[in-house]
Amino acid sequence: METVKKLIREVPDFPKKGILFYDITTLLKDAQGFRRVIDGLTEIFRDQEIDLVCGIEARGFIFAPTVAFALGAGFVPVRKPHKLPAETESVTYDLEYGTDSLEIHKDAITPGQRVLLLDDVLATGGTAAAVARLIRKLQGELVGAAFVIELDFLGGRKKLDGIEITSLVHY
Ligand code: AMP
């Protein structure tokens, strides 16, 4: 995964001063790098009988459906409020300043289905923990949470206690 890491661009002071942003667009446009990421994640979960891969708007929508397709699983979008047209379940979680919400369609998961949560970056873990709550509200069986990048120094995995976490690249 060292070659994958080299393809991730580090942009200082984005979206605000003091944040080092890990930009995956430089990885995505590299055919071999993109394939390595999708193959890497698919390999790990191939034998886990995943029914659904749940991806978070917006960058999660790049990786989650691709891995779902490779696994022969379905894809479920988790979206920002008021984007999903049918009945939704929602969750509110804390940000550094204020709160944010995410929604999922109530009928997106049939109770007992085996669900993989997949996002681009695990930072503080707030987003993934909120999505884990949504999956469990719908009685999905949360098989694990997978990320392309994990920012170890932020300790996000503490918020995902009890969930099997897989990350391809660590900082
Ligand atoms: P968090 O809830 O703090 O774990 O943040 C997770 C979301 O924020 C991920 O879906 C990322 O897309 C985004 N994110 C947070 N920090 C960064 C960063 N330093 N570089 C790129 N994306 C980030």
pLDDT confidence of residue 95: 85
Q: Catalytic residue, from 2, 10, 35, 59: name it.
A: 59
Q: Could you give the CA distance from residue 118 to residue 165 in angstroms, rounded to a whole number?
A: 10
CATH topology of domain 48-170: Rossmann fold (3.40.50)
Closest CA to 57 of 38, 80, 89, 25: 80
Say if residue 96's pLDDT is above 90.
no
- End-to-end CA gap in the chain: 12
pLDDT confidence of residue 22: 97
For ligand 1, the distance from its centroid to the CA atom of residue 74, given in whole angstroms, is 24
Say if residue 116's pLDDT is above 90.
yes
**96 has catalytic annotation:** yes
Q: Is the CB of 118 under 6 A from ligand 1?
A: no
**59 has catalytic annotation:** yes
pTM, to two decimals: 0.97
Sorted by sequence, the CB contacts under 8 Å of residue 100 that are 6+ apart come out as: 92, 93
User: Pick the residue with more confidence: 112 or 94?
Assistant: 112
pLDDT-based confidence at residue 160 (cuts at 50, 70, 90): very high
Query: pLDDT digits over 1-48, tens only?
Result: 999 999 999 999 999 999 999 999 999 999 999 999 999 999 999 999
Are 44 and 168 spatial neighbours (Cβ–Cβ below 8 Å)?
no
Segment 57-74 shows an average pLDDT of 98
Q: Are strands 141-150 and 114-122 parallel, antiparallel or unpaired?
A: parallel
- Domain segments of the chain as ranges: 48-170
Q: Could you give the CA distance from residue 121 to residue 128 in angstroms, rounded to a whole number?
A: 9
Q: Is the CB of 27 under 6 A from ligand 1?
A: no
Mutate to test the pocket of ligand 1, among 127, 133, 160, 170 (most ligand atoms within 8 A of CB): 127
pLDDT confidence of residue 97: 81
**70 phi, psi to nearest 5 deg:** -65, -30
DSSP secondary structure string for all residues of 48-89: S---EEEEETTTHHHHHHHHHHHHT-EEEEEBSTT---S-EE
